[in-house]
Structure 1
Amino acid sequence: MPAVRLGFGGPVGSGKTRLVERLLPFFSSHGISVAVITNDLVTHEDAERVKRSGLIDPERVLGVESGACPHTAIREDPSVNIEATKWLEQRFQPDVIIIESGGDNLAATFSSELIDWWAFVIDVAGGDDIPRKRGLGVLRADLLVVNKVDLAPHVDADLERISADVAAARPERASLYTDLRSGQGVKAVFDEIVHSALFGRFPG
């Protein structure tokens, strides 16, 4: 059975790599084998970070250099990422392949050729008006993750307003709130992935 391909996108600094790192132990504890692909403009910085984390066999992590705007390699021409997924499948036969996009703006989306399910990560420190701007990532992602909720009082972000705006923008799509520094909300993200992306193939 081919791996389920999960995409994680969002602006620079929103917490995409931290979310991947926080999720890896949940996959492992449930017997779900994982491989990871990270996308950066001209470096392998995120890939090297995940490799050093000790949370996954470093050989199961590939870094892709998009060489252009990060969304190019996940939407317009995802061929380099598709080839990377094929290589990982042939070598490791993982249950899940996580594809993390390089940081991009609110318009970033994933090609359906590349992923089966995707999450978009924003953070309250980026401004509590992000949900009202209704970028494609906010509107179309299977899951919206609103991260750094712990910082709201320190950056004058109104969480109640954010929650109301998210509900208005995504009335029928899942949204979750996290503090990835402490791990708050990660279990809920994992449960949503099992339910909506893995369709209960593995116990939650």
Structure 2
Amino acid sequence: MSHSNGPFRVGIGGPVGSGKTALTDRLCKYLRDSHDIAVITNDIYTKEDAEFLTRSGALVPERIMGVETGGCPHTAIREDASINLAAVQDMVEKFPKLEVLFIESGGDNLAATFSPELADLTIYVIDVSAGDKIPRKGGPGITRSDLLVINKIDLAPLVGADLGVMDRDAKKMRGARPFIFTNLKADKGVAEIADFVLKSGGIK
């Protein structure tokens, strides 16, 4: 893929609490020394996720931008992505050599998907603590994202979730599309996700 038209844009979505910000944080820390990256986060009324990433030292503050979407966070990544497209433009002007730009969605909606004009690749994060039936509930994030991340596998025994069932259902719902089990707190799965992003974007 040619990046003459700007950075490879990766949309990260999923329900509140599933680990979207944790994934963004870990990917930034994994890639920042070898690649030119930045982040845009979407929050409904605050810039909480952007502030978390700044505090955790994911990237230098000027590479993290928080967008306040108001009451309709799903619209801001899909039907009317203008607020995010403007943020992308800002980042590209500030960092003309940007290779990867992560865009983290706000809100809590299994049906929220990224507009193709906003994201080149979509990663959807769910977590084991929501129960092993989540993959078979479907929804576009689960069935159509480029990569499905099933996070917090360390909690499976505590919540009685069967990873085998989740594996089977994810395969059934996604067909050939990849998915990965992660424990982001322990960095399990981060390298594989980072490699998937770079390969998908044709980035060395």
Task: Specify if TM > 0.5.
Answer: yes
Displacement over 6 Å in runs of 4+: none
Matched residue, 1:55: 58
Residue by residue over 1:14-45, the C-alpha shift from the partner in whole angstroms, topping out at 9 and shown as x without a partner, is 0000001111122123x211111000000000
Q: How does 1:1-204 map to 2 (within 5 A)?
A: 1=4, 2-29=6-33, 31-93=34-96, 94-196=98-200, 198-199=201-202, 201-202=203-204
1:177 and 1:70 map into 2 onto residues whose CA distance is: 27
Structure-2 separation of matches of 1:46 and 1:25: 16
> Is the Cα–Cα contact under 8 Å of residues 13 and 103 in structure 1 kept in the other structure?
no
- Structure 2: gaps (5+ residues): none
Q: Secondary structure at the match of 2:59?
A: coil
- 1 CA distance for matches of 2:185 and 2:112? 24
Structure 2 counterpart SS, 1:181: helix
Residue ranges of structure 1 left out of the alignment (5+ in a row)? none
User: How far 1:103 sits from its partner (Å)?
Assistant: 3.2
Q: How many residues align?
A: 199
Q: Given residue 61 of structure 2, which amino acid in structure 1 is its aligned partner?
A: P
Between 102-111 and 154-163, the greater mean CA deviation after superposition: 102-111
**Paired residue type of 2:58:** L
TM-score by length of 1: 0.95
Write the letter of the residue equivalent to 2:35: I
Give the distance between the partners of 1:26 and 1:45, measured in 2 at CA.
Answer: 22
Give the C-alpha shift of residue 98 in structure 1.
0.6
Cα-Cα RMSD? 0.9
For 1:112 and 1:21, the matched residues in 2 are separated by 23
